[in-house]
Amino acid sequence: MTVVDDIKARLDIVDYVSASVKLRHTGKNYTGFCPFHSNTRTPAFVIFPETQTWRCFGQCNEGGDIFGYVMKKEGWDFSETLKFLAEKAGVELPVYSQVNQASKDHTEEIINALEGAARFYRQQMLETPRGRETLEYLHKRGINDQSIKIFGLGYAPDAWDGLLNFMKGIGYGEQVLMDAGLITERDSGGAYDRFRNRLVIPIRDAFGKMCGFGGRVVDPNDVPKYLNSPKTDVFDKGRLLYGLDLARQSIRTKDQAVIVEGYLDVIGLHQAGFTNAVSPMGTALTEDQFRLVKKFPRRIVLALDPDAAGEQATLRGLETARQTMDIDNEMLFDARGLLHYEARLKADIRVTTLPEGKDPDEIVLADPLVWETIVENAKPVVEHVMETLVASKDVNDVKVKSEIAQKVLPLIEDVADRIEREAYRQKLAYLIKVNERALVGASPSPLTRGKSRKKGDEPAEIARKINGTKRSNHLLEHYCIQKLLHDPDNLHQVNRQLKIFDLPELDNDDFIETEFLETFKLITASLDQDEYTPRDFLELYLPDLIREALVVEELPKNTKEITPEKEILELVRAILRMRRNRIEEQINDLLFMEKELEDNEKDASLNYQSLMIENIKMRKKIDDALNPPSKND
């Protein structure tokens, strides 16, 4: 993850904008009066949490991500905005040097090596006898070929140097493979494959970049049952959630994330249509993992194993969640009529109870309706913790009563609704057989609650650290920029082709993500000056942090020979798809927003209808360009 990615992942545009702009929640989006022009009648300013972008459908007719919003609001350039948002997100900006560049290049080589290994493992599964046995094992587990392809599952051969020899054959040295966690050094010298005779599961970050692998035994006599990549520059198990790259959109849509224990649980659930499932890969949930998932939904369902270890992992995860989830402040009156604020958790964390001895993938593949019912019946975290602790303790013991109360009361106090808090106190009092007044007196005070939080994780700061997400057009924007960086003169040919289709030239409005927009501005500037060649100009003026965001992600390579003319056409088609995707999103949003308008907002309705017509006309033009009539028509 680049620094720019990290900042976007930690900050939420809704929280940032709402600090200075009054927003109204309309369905999945937020609307308000644009802060960039005078207007008190039409709520033309819209924030789209799902894509972490904003748009003014009024006078400004502008939009972008959180970087673009801050730059426009404060009048700063990209570097100034980067420093400001990095400090706000708690992200340390690196100091670039030749050493930094070398490290960056090495990281890219590691990611490429992991991608190469994934292709090798997949080929081994499909084309070798032992691999096909592993494929048959997956089929018996109910995993179909489409899921196997989507998740990139493979087989590590039962050999000490199968991968090592393959990777050397395509040009990778042992040090890179060691740094990628693919091979292990022998005590006697030399190296051998880390994964051998295992089902191999590629692990990617939230944006789909390769980070490492998980390996599951196929021989029940082998140990350990699961083996993961070691910690590397790109793989840190505690900072990843398996399946999040494929689950993000579904989590947003359903406003719910379901956290399960294992890889095959995630795959089985996705195959059955429950695509909002992710996994911490068998470990206790960490703060970084909660930060990854909390940017999407307000409801998180924990569906971990029902054994004792699973319950302990659940309880540890809940405490981590309390330290990590964002906090709201509730204004109250104390006994003397003085105002004060109490922190309340802005999240709905629930816990499922799984049938004994059954994993989620087994349940859902046997009967999807059973899994659906289990998730729907997930209990609120407070209720689950109370029942779990009471079931395993002697509540007649006075010390046990106190221990249970000390664990449960902080959770109760985090509940936002007062009536719910009161009901939970009553239930806790009943379960541990004490008078409810004793629990009220034992509740942490507003002044002491939260003192155990780490420095820098105070409620106000946590509220500023809500994560964001990449939009669906990220890869298309990235592809276009990389192609233009490679040869800036391609922009002239692209624009000529767009004119043939009677479409506008490529311009700033085509790029939503600020790092790509700022790069495009530099590309056009490189063509407008004559002191340097365009490539030299970009080499001189492209900021390191933008350069990092552009080169770290490896785009798919076309293995076929391609002519320069066809390359331009492919670039034009990518731009057309990028524009069409955005138009389709805008049409859907305009339809929804117009439906949400109140009776006194007729001006906005007319404006939305006009924008709708413009978008539909442009979509027709783009469709005609993407699908020209054949010569036989």
Q: What is the largest CA-CA distance in the chain?
A: 88
Domain 244-463 part of CATH 3.50.50.60: no
Is pLDDT larger for residue 374 or for residue 387? Answer: 374
> Which neighbouring-strand residues pair with 193?
183
**Of 98-107, 211-220, 280-289, the least confident:** 98-107
Residues 72-123 have pLDDT tens digits of 888 888 888 888 998 898 888 776 545 456 667 788 899 999 999 999 999 9
pLDDT at 267 over 80: yes
Q: How far apart are CA 587 and CA 339, in angstroms?
A: 46
Q: For residue 341, what pLDDT is reported?
A: 37
pLDDT at 459 over 60: no
Q: How confident is the model at residue 601 (pLDDT cuts 50, 70, 90)?
A: low
Q: For residue 319, what pLDDT is reported?
A: 61
Q: How confident is the model at residue 339 (pLDDT cuts 50, 70, 90)?
A: very low
Q: For residue 34, what pLDDT is reported?
A: 87
Q: How far apart are CA 328 and CA 325, in angstroms?
A: 10
The terminus-to-terminus CA distance of the chain in angstroms comes to 48
Q: How far apart are CA 313 and CA 262, in angstroms?
A: 13
- The token pair that represents 36 in the structure block: 């960039």
Q: How confident is the model at residue 227 (pLDDT cuts 50, 70, 90)?
A: very high
The CA-atom distances, in angstroms, between 186 and each of 133, 160, 190, 235, 597 are 29, 11, 5, 22, 68
Answer positive or negative: Cα dihedral of 18, 28, 457, 546: negative
Total-model pTM: 0.56
Q: How far apart are CA 267 and CA 273, in angstroms?
A: 10
pLDDT at 457 over 80: no
Most confident of 72-81, 164-173, 230-239: 164-173
Q: How far apart are CA 46 and CA 29, in angstroms?
A: 7
pLDDT at 196 over 90: yes
Q: For residue 146, what pLDDT is reported?
A: 96
Q: How confident is the model at residue 263 (pLDDT cuts 50, 70, 90)?
A: very high
Q: For residue 550, what pLDDT is reported?
A: 61
Comma-separated ranges of CATH 3.90.980.10 domains in the chain: 98-234
| Cβ proximity of 283 and 238 under 8 Å | yes
Q: For residue 61, what pLDDT is reported?
A: 77
| Cβ proximity of 174 and 183 under 8 Å | yes
Q: Which helix (H) or strand (E) holds 345?
A: strand 339-345
- The token pair that represents 543 in the structure block: 């900021």
Give the CATH number of domain 98-234: 3.90.980.10
How much of the chain, in percent, has pLDDT values that exceed 90? 29
Average pLDDT over the chain reads 80
Give the SS3 label for residue 443.
coil
Q: For residue 91, what pLDDT is reported?
A: 86
pLDDT at 41 over 90: no
The CA-atom distances, in angstroms, between 318 and each of 260, 406, 606 are 14, 14, 48
Residues 126-151 have pLDDT tens digits of 999 999 999 999 999 999 999 999 99
pLDDT at 335 over 70: no
pLDDT at 507 over 80: yes
Q: For residue 125, what pLDDT is reported?
A: 96
| Cβ proximity of 163 and 198 under 8 Å | no
Comma-separated ranges of CATH 3.90.580.10 domains in the chain: 3-89
Q: For residue 528, what pLDDT is reported?
A: 85
Q: For residue 37, what pLDDT is reported?
A: 78
Q: Which helix (H) or strand (E) holds 523?
A: helix 514-528
Comma-separated ranges of CATH 3.40.1360.10 domains in the chain: 244-463
Q: For residue 330, what pLDDT is reported?
A: 43
| Inter-axis angle of helices 98-127 and 129-140, nearest 10 | 80
pLDDT at 190 over 50: yes
Cβ neighbours, 10 Å, residue 38: 7
Write the secondary structure of 141-154 as one string of H (helix), E (strand) and C (coil). CCCCHHHHHHCCCE
Q: For residue 305, what pLDDT is reported?
A: 64
pLDDT at 630 over 60: no
Q: For residue 110, what pLDDT is reported?
A: 94
Is pLDDT larger for residue 111 or for residue 281? Answer: 111
Beta-strand pair 299-303/256-260 = parallel
Tell me what the mean pLDDT of segment 383-405 comes to: 85
Q: For residue 29, what pLDDT is reported?
A: 82
Q: For residue 27, what pLDDT is reported?
A: 73
Nearest to 249 by CA among 208, 189, 201: 208
Q: For residue 303, what pLDDT is reported?
A: 85
Options 3.90.580.10, 2.40.400.10, 2.30.29.30, 3.30.300.20; which CATH number does 3-89 get? 3.90.580.10
